[in-house]
């Protein structure tokens, strides 16, 4: 009996220990879950939250606070509160009020208005500050004003005004993002605006604004801006002037809109409309437009223009034996070889199938044309590695010269086309120059 009692006590103590450990683990899990929920909440609130130590230094911040002050958590940790808030007390126990309004300080020194709420945690030496950024939406703004601000963001449209006799410039919140800044991050000035405009567009934008000020004409310009990180965006700015009671222009006012995506879409549509989808070379439309302009320039400067039609020999065999993918590769390679063989001022185009055209400008003698024709034949006929073998294509060239063979676009094209068929009928890797043609 005496031996059984200690054993019973030992078992009881072991059970108590196991229960205690289980309960402790349960408490730790609940505490961990509570902290995870708390972290998730803090990460998603829009106000900045700063946890202060007993000495008043910042211990922790949430994501909104980091974005608000434009600093990382590591950059803020350990800082005194008055590095972040104007007129902030050095210690939490020196707080004058639980709620107050002051200016916050970003990393670049720019200030912005905030509301601050001070929370002392019961039984804790730590305290919490909740910081609400007033630079985005005024607390007294009406619901209609707030909707207007939001619509500006979504539409990427902002309002601006500039006092023409000073450097003073106003931006609505939406404009900051168009120049690569957060609202309130910088103080907008006309000098800041001018520096942000792309150097190639700056003079044109300035001239448009001066014209608007002097004549009262509507101001409407599209221009590029360069963000602090080097990103380039397209903006469209419209506006007009306001005058005082004496008729003197005192201010320009208007709107600005981000049109980057619109420009990119327009460029893509233009690319598809005027360039060959496979080789990216100019298509027939661009070829004929450039030929027409080349003829006009040659007429003014008493120079020659040559048009070369090129048809590949042996291309159909590659397409039939190896498939369209191999044929496409030949066409792409041919286009690049033509570009490499010619001058930057010459035009290479693909007008369909395995037919290419070339426009040569600023020619003095027929000898130049013969030399270029030989270079084209060598470039095109260089063997190409396709699949498991080496394949060769030749070319037949037909050439027409302005003004020797014709003086109009249509006739030049017709003569070059006929000369090409003559060369093709005689063999491969040959060129023929068109005949004299009366106009």
Q: Is 3 a catalytic residue?
A: no
DSSP 140-158: T--HHHHHHHHHHHHHTEE
- Pick from 90, 81, 30, 75: nearest CA to 58: 81
Q: Which helix (H) or strand (E) holds 133?
A: strand 127-133
What is the spatial distance between Cα 408 and Cα 67, in angstroms, rounded to a whole number? 65
Bridge partners (DSSP) listed for residue 223: 235
Closest CA relative to residue 222, chosen from 212, 211, 233? 233
- Give the count of alpha carbons within 13 A of 174, CB side only: 20
Catalytic residue among 133, 258, 313, 354: 354
Before 304, cis peptide (omega within 30)? no
Which residue, 344, 347, 343, 314, is CA-closest to 330?
314
- At 13, which helix (H) or strand (E)? helix 4-44
3-state secondary structure of 57: strand
Q: Which single residue is written with the structure tokens 């498991």?
A: 388
d(CA 61, CA 116): 14
Exposed, middle or buried by CB within 10 Å (0-12, 13-18, 19+), for 349? buried
Confirm if 398 and 434 have CB atoms less than 8 A apart.
Answer: yes
At residue 184, the 3 state secondary structure works out as: coil
Buried b (16+ CB within 10 A) or exposed e, 277-305: eebebbbbebbbebbeebbeebeeeeebb
At CA 18, angle to CA 13 and CA 19, rounded to 5? 95
Separation CA 37–CA 34 (nearest Å): 5
Annotated catalytic residues are: 354
């Amino acid at each position: 009996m005496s031996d059984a009692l200690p054993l019973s006590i030992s078992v009881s103590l072991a059970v108590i220990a196991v229960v205690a450990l289980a309960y402790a683990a349960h408490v730790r899990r609940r505490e961990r879950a509570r902290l995870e929920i708390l972290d998730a909440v803090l990460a998603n609130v829009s106000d900045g939250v700063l946890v202060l130590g007993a000495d008043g230094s910042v211990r922790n911040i949430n994501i909104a606070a980091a974005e608000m002050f434009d600093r990382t958590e590591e950059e803020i940790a350990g800082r005194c509160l008055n590095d972040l808030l104007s007129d902030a007390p050095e210690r939490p126990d020196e707080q004058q009020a639980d709620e107050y309004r002051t200016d916050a300080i970003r990393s670049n020194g720019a200030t912005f208005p905030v509301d601050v709420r001070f929370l002392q945690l019961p039984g804790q030496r730590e305290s919490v500050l909740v910081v609400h950024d007033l630079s985005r939406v005024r607390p007294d703004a009406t619901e209609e004003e707030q909707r207007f601000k939001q619509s500006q963001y979504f539409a990427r449209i902002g309002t601006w005004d500039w006092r023409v006799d000073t450097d003073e410039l106003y931006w609505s919140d939406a404009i900051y993002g168009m120049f690569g800044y957060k609202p309130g991050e910088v103080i907008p000035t006309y000098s800041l605006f001018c520096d942000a405009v792309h150097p190639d567009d700056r003079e044109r934008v300035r001239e448009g604004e001066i014209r608007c000020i002097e004549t009262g004409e509507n101001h409407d310009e599209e221009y590029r801006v360069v963000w602090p990180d080097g990103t380039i965006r397209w903006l469209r700015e419209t506006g007009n002037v306001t005058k005082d009671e004496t008729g003197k222009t005192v201010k320009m006012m208007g709107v600005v809109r981000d049109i980057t995506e619109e420009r990119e879409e327009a460029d893509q549509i233009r690319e598809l409309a005027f360039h060959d989808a496979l080789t990216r070379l100019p298509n027939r439309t661009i070829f004929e437009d450039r030929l027409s302009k080349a003829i006009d320039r040659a007429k003014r400067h008493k120079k020659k223009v040559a048009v070369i039609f090129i048809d590949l020999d042996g291309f159909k065999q590659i397409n039939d034996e190896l498939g369209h993918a191999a044929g496409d590769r030949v066409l792409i390679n041919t286009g690049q070889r033509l570009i490499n063989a010619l001058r930057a001022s010459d035009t290479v185009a693909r007008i369909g199938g395995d037919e290419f055209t070339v426009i040569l400008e600023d020619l003095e003698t027929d000898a130049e044309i013969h030399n270029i024709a030989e270079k084209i034949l060598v470039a095109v006929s260089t063997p190409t590695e396709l699949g498991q073998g080496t394949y060769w294509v030749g070319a037949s060239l037909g050439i027409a010269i302005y003004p020797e063979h014709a003086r109009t676009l249509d006739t030049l094209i017709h003569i070059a086309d006929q000369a090409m068929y003559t060369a093709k009928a005689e063999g491969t890797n040959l060129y023929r120059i068109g005949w004299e043609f009366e106009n």
